[in-house]
Chains A and B, each alone.
Chain A
Amino acid sequence: MLDYHLILRINYLDKQWSMNGDDYEGLNWLDSSPKPTQEELDVLWESTQAAITAQAAQAQATKNSALAKLAALGLTQDEVKALLG
């Protein structure tokens, strides 16, 4: 299901807006720039999902890299878990 909150967060983080509920009608544009149309937001859904997936993959890669560096220092996974929770 298309998520306008997510589309706005990924693509319009530098603009001022509020969004209530799940429908486009809930978008209150507070910015001095033109309010995006529903069609303009709809076409961003696919790239938004891709961006979210990429962000998650990057976060996992960063975590894996950190764990690898800790392991190289000799820490076991249990010791890392004890440190980081």
Chain B
Amino acid sequence: MAVSLYGSGQTIVQVVQVTKLDRFSTTSTSYTAITGMSASITPFSTSNKILVMVDMKGGAANSSGGGVQLLRGGSAIYTPAAQGSRRLASLSSGYDVNTSTVAQMSAVFLDSPATTAATTYSLQCVTNGGTFGVNSSSAYTDSTDNMATVSSITLMEVAYA
């Protein structure tokens, strides 16, 4: 989907959205790409900025932790300063003792890619050894007390007159 709204001042000139409807899970203790959570945009100007909005649901098993990192190309963006042994993440689900919770995670970041080349934003995730599920809890069990959900990345190009 792409929408162009031309005007004066700060204007949204382009919108791209990708939604992920199916499940993803991992036990990876190093960051691994979340299939389907990737969106590309080609900015009109190097001075334009990209408003990145992530709407994501997921859950990590007890003591697993669950971190998600936002990338531009192959580089992590929107990351915190180092804090001891903590893993660095753009957003996190925490972890769930009973494994049936689906956490709401979100990130909003105004990026300055300074390019007119196609630019890809994507997400990768990590756990501390248990399971981390995207669009579901970490339990995966098929029952009415477990929710199946949807996640998305939305990119908005902001022009500065």
| Residues of chain A having any CB pair with chain B under 8 Å | 1, 3, 5-6, 8-9, 12-13, 15-22, 26, 28, 30, 52
Contact = CB atoms under 8 A, between A and B. Distances in A.
Given A18-B26, A18-B27, 20 more contacts: A1-B142, A3-B140, A5-B23, A6-B142, A8-B27, A9-B139, A9-B140, A15-B27, A16-B28, A18-B35, A19-B23, A19-B24, A19-B25, A20-B24, A20-B35, A21-B23, A22-B23, A28-B35, A30-B26, A30-B32
B23 A9 contact: no
B113 interface: no
Majority DSSP secondary structure for residues of B touching A: loop
22 contacts: A3-B140, A5-B136, A5-B140, A6-B142, A8-B25, A9-B27, A9-B131, A9-B138, A17-B27, A17-B28, A18-B24, A18-B25, A18-B27, A18-B28, A19-B25, A19-B26, A20-B24, A20-B36, A28-B35, A30-B26, A30-B28, A52-B141
B94 interface: no
Contact residues on B (Cβ < 8 Å of other chain), bracket? 20 to 34
